[in-house]
A and B are shown apart, each in its own frame.
Chain A
Amino acid sequence: MDFGTVAATWLGAFFTLCILSFLYKDNPFFRFAESVFAGVSMGYYIGNTFGQTFVPNLVHPLFTPPAGTPREWILVIPLLLGFLLYTRYIKKVAWVSRFSLAIYVGYYTGVNMMQKLQGEVLPQSADTILSFWRAGTFTNVGEWISLLVVVVGVLSVLVYFFFSAEHKGAIGGVSRLGIWFLMVSFGAAFGYTIMGRISILIGRVIFLINQWLGIGNGGVA
Chain B
Amino acid sequence: MDMMERLMNLDRRWLYLLVGLAAVIPILAPLNLPVNVSRPVQDLFDRVESLEPGEIIMVSFDYGPSTGPENDPMGDAIILHALARDLRVVVIALYPLGGVTEAREELERCVGDLDPPNGQIASERFPDKVYGRDFIYFGYKDGGLAAMRLMSDNMHEVFPADFYGTPLDEYELGREVQGYDNVAFVMSLATGIIGEWWANLVNAQFGTPVAVGCTAVSAPKYFAYYRAGQMFALLAGLKGAAEYEFLVSQKYPQLAQITDSFIYNAGKGWDVQSVVYSIITLFIIIGNVAFIVERRRQKRGM
Interface residues of A (CB under 8 A from B): 20, 23-24, 192-196, 198-203, 205-206, 209-210, 215-221
Contact = CB atoms under 8 A, between A and B. Distances in A.
A214 to B, nearest CB: 10
B4 interface: no
Given A192-B217, A205-B23, A205-B24, 15 more contacts: A24-B13, A192-B216, A195-B217, A195-B238, A195-B273, A198-B23, A199-B216, A202-B264, A203-B69, A215-B263, A216-B264, A217-B263, A218-B262, A219-B72, A219-B109
B72 A23 contact: no
Interface of B: 13, 16, 19-20, 23-24, 27-28, 65-70, 72-73, 76, 98, 101-102, 105, 109, 215-217, 220, 237-238, 261-265, 269, 272-273, 276-277, 280
A200 B13 CA distance: 19
A46 to B, nearest CB: 20
Contacts of A216: 261-264
A202 B272 contact: yes
A194 B237 CA distance: 12
17 contacts: A192-B220, A194-B277, A195-B237, A195-B238, A198-B272, A200-B69, A201-B19, A202-B69, A205-B27, A206-B27, A209-B24, A217-B262, A219-B73, A219-B265, A220-B65, A220-B68, A221-B68
B263 A199 contact: no
Contacts of B69: 199-200, 202-203, 206, 219-220
Contact of B105 (A203, A205, A206, A221): A221
A23 B280 CA distance: 17
A203 B66 contact: yes
A202 B71 CA distance: 12
Nearest to A220: B68
B102 A221 contact: yes
A221 B277 CA distance: 24
Given A217-B109, A221-B105, A196 B215 contact: yes
Q: Which of A201, A209, A220 has the most C-beta atoms of chain B within 10 angstroms of its own C-beta? A: A220
B18 to A, nearest CB: 12
A55 to B, nearest CB: 20
Contacts of B261: 216-217
Contacts of A200: 66, 69
Contacts of B73: 219
Contacts of B276: 194, 198
Nearest to B75: A219
Nearest to B263: A216
Contacts of A219: 68-69, 72-73, 76, 109, 262-265
A24 B73 CA distance: 32
Contacts of A198: 23, 272-273, 276-277
Contact of B263 (A193, A195, A201, A206): A206
Contacts of B216: 192, 195-196, 199
Contact of A220 (B19, B20, B23, B264): B264
A104 B101 CA distance: 37
8 A-B pairs closest in CB distance: A216-B263, A219-B264, A195-B216, A220-B68, A199-B69, A202-B69, A217-B261, A196-B217
Nearest to A205: B23
A192 to B, nearest CB: 7
Contact of A199 (B98, B109, B215): B215
Contacts of B220: 192
